[in-house]
Structure 1
Amino acid sequence: MNKLLFVFSIILAGMISCADDNSPKHLFNGDDMDQWHVQGELILSDHQIRMGEGSSILLKKGNYTDFELQMVVSTVDNGKGYIVFHTDDKGEKGYRVALDNDLKNAEWWTKTGSLLGVRNLTKSIVRTNESFDMTIRVEGQAITVLVNGSPVVEYIEPASPYRTAQNAQQVLSNGKFAVHCTEGGILIEAITVTPLNRKVDRNKQMASAIDETTDHIIRLHQENFPVLDYHVHLKGITAEQAAEQSRRYGINYALAPNCGIGFPITTDEEVIQYLEAMQGQPFIQAMQGEGREWPETFSREVRDRFDYVFTDALTFTDTKGRRTRLWMPEEVFIENEEQYMDLIVQKIVDVMQEPMDVYVNPNFLPDVMNDRYDQFWTEERMDKVIDALVASGKILEINHRYKIPHKAFILKAKEAGLKFTFGTNNADGDFGKLEYCIQMKDECDITATDMYKPNIKD
């Protein structure tokens, strides 16, 4: 009897051990595709899966809820695709994680690591034809995506996630894995999954989730609109803190150092040092040219190392040779307001000849005139600035900090075919979520094709 009990206890322990088995499982070890349904052009050679355009693989068996999926993968010749988890036998439900390192892709805001439709990324930290590690971790309501060990997405699905009808099945559940190649080629060297059954406090996770019933950012992602703050400074916030905030809010950031005489960066050498320090960071890199001397202060070669360059028209020399900075009341010398307004307009037009891409802090007025903003910005003055923007091929910023330009100017700019950027121009680390920009987007019917595509460098 004791012998029978002993044998039974061994069997029971083995069953419990299998049920709680958290050891890594090789879903592809380089030898065969026996664990996968295969569709389309796929070659198994050199212990690697070479997926061609239109091909897909779907795991035959397995029902994973919480897990850590690890892959060694690369996009070949600007190949594109995505990984699916929590999907079904038809591959229709579940979340998708992007594989896309193509700098020339028209849909430039869904780079590698994007949790598509939920946390789209405008910058890939890896390159095409370059092998990298992709990790997707699901624990309770938390989804984390890491590329080469660096987190690029940290998303907590709330109790009431906002989803369009098209993305209704884009929610946490359980299921299988799949990989799709939509264009070019994808190379897979290894796929491993580790089931996770650690106890997770879902209530605590929910408490830290963003309320998507009122969040405007998730709506931009769901409509496949590029979610990028093109004008962020490291003021009151470190690069690490900016990256953490970006992952939490789901807003990509373009970081811009202030470059010019009397500003933090004053030489080509300092620009190079800054950009080298930013290598591998998840930020688009922009340059803000300060003052009117910046085009001569920095060489074209160095300026071109940024993804784009912007400046404003807030600094100039007035008709009596006095240095003017419009945001500083003591440097604003007004004798006749209408004449001074014409001077401001002319200075804006002159700035369009500078070697920049984006005109920022647009149509700013000094405090003493700003209470009559719409009165001073007449049709004629608006048309003169828009004509200069069009003629010079410049981009127009919609600025959250100053809530400029006003709707009438944006509508005219859109009708003229201008492209836009959204920017906060933060003075500290608490700079919001592009609220004014999104308001103008909705009121002026700005679409994804109306947004400026940065010239993102490798």
Structure 2
Amino acid sequence: MMKIFSHIFLLITLLLTTAHAQSSDDDWISLFDGQTFNNWSAAENPETFSIEDGMIVVDGPRAHLFYNGPVENHNFDDFVFKADIMTMENANSGIFFHTQYQEEGWPAHGYEAQINNSYDPDPRRTASVYNVDDNTEITFPDNEWFTMTIRVEGQHITIMVNDEVITDYTEPGDVDRGTNVLSSGTFALQGHDPDSKVYFKNIRVKPL
């Protein structure tokens, strides 16, 4: 009899674990359809961004590609964001969050999660909260895919590369940096300069 109860317990545990995993997977919302720039708006130099084999290719002069779609009305507060990224040699890029669309210049709102594995003129490496909590160690090589995860919950920012925490930052309550603070807003992919080529795919978010 004990063996029967033991088997039933294991079966129930397995079913609950599977259901939880499926529910977690279902919580992710894709922000890029792999074929079009629907729900995205490019500013300053739109030609910097193109689509190739289901990937966003960033290759050209300074530009930013802002998400302006229906998910959360492109105004995210707490979230987990993921993207698969591959950098070419000497590439500099970034992912802005809690930001707003603007026609030109570096985004004035929110924070940037830095992407830089070999661009030596800037010592701030991948997974830095740019110019706020900077990582100076190379976290991943060029020419290989990695997954960047950005989590914002309250005043807490965590940035991971392949599930390894690189930056763990809590914004102080008395911070004074104008609009470069946590509030709410959208995401933007950065085209940094004509010599920086970066690929993005599997862009997804999980509102919290």
Relative to the length of structure 1, the TM-score reads: 0.36
Letter aligned with residue 180 of structure 1: Q
Among 182, 187, 201, the residue aligned to 2:192: 182
Matched, 1:137 2:145: no
1:223-256 alpha-carbon deviations (Å, 9 max, x no partner)? xxxxxxxxxxxxxxxxxxxxxxxxxxxxxxxxxx
Partner of 2:38: 34
Say whether the 8 Å CA contact 1:79–1:181 is kept in structure 2: no
Partner of 1:107: 122
Deviation at 1:78, TM superposition (A): 2.0
Letter aligned with residue 28 of structure 2: P
Say whether the 8 Å CA contact 1:113–1:153 is kept in structure 2: yes
Higher-Rg structure is 1
Deviation at 1:140, TM superposition (A): 0.8
Partner of 1:173: 183
Partner of 2:109: 93
Letter aligned with residue 86 of structure 1: H
For the aligned residue pairs, the C-alpha RMSD in angstroms reads: 1.5
Structure number with greater CO (CA < 8 Å, separation at least 6) is 2
Aligned length: 169
Partner of 1:287: none
Matched, 1:120 2:112: no
Cα distance in 1 for partners of 2:117, 2:53 equals: 23
Identity of aligned residues (%): 30
Deviation at 1:82, TM superposition (A): 1.1
1:71-96 alpha-carbon deviations (Å, 9 max, x no partner)? 00111222111110001122420001
Q: Which runs of 5+ in 2 are unaligned?
A: 1-25
Partner of 2:95: 83
Cα distance in 2 for partners of 1:125, 1:45 equals: 26
Say whether the 8 Å CA contact 1:72–1:190 is kept in structure 2: yes
Say whether the 8 Å CA contact 1:113–1:124 is kept in structure 2: no
Cα distance in 1 for partners of 2:37, 2:64 equals: 12
Say whether the 8 Å CA contact 1:95–1:170 is kept in structure 2: yes
Say whether the 8 Å CA contact 1:97–1:113 is kept in structure 2: yes
Among 68, 71, 81, the residue aligned to 1:60: 68
Q: Which runs of 5+ in 1 are unaligned?
A: 1-21, 197-458
1:160-191 alpha-carbon deviations (Å, 9 max, x no partner)? 0153xxxx221110010001121311100121
Output aligned runs, 1:309-328, within 5 Å.
Answer: none
- Local SS of the residue matching 2:82: strand
Matched, 1:160 2:174: yes
Letter aligned with residue 50 of structure 2: I
1:54-109 alpha-carbon deviations (Å, 9 max, x no partner)? 2321011311000000000111222111110001122420001111011x61222x
Which structure features the higher share of helix residues? 1
Cα distance in 2 for partners of 1:44, 1:89 equals: 21
1:348-391 alpha-carbon deviations (Å, 9 max, x no partner)? xxxxxxxxxxxxxxxxxxxxxxxxxxxxxxxxxxxxxxxxxxxx
Output aligned runs, 1:117-266, within 5 Å.
Answer: 117-163=131-177, 168-183=178-193, 184-196=196-208
Deviation at 1:23, TM superposition (A): 2.1
Relative to the length of structure 2, the TM-score reads: 0.77
Say whether the 8 Å CA contact 1:142–1:157 is kept in structure 2: yes
Cα distance in 2 for partners of 1:94, 1:87 equals: 5
Cα distance in 1 for partners of 2:27, 2:139 equals: 29
- Local SS of the residue matching 2:137: coil
Say whether the 8 Å CA contact 2:48–2:191 is kept in structure 1: no
Cα distance in 2 for partners of 1:107, 1:50 equals: 22
Cα distance in 1 for partners of 2:200, 2:82 equals: 11
Letter aligned with residue 108 of structure 2: E
Say whether the 8 Å CA contact 1:71–1:188 is kept in structure 2: yes
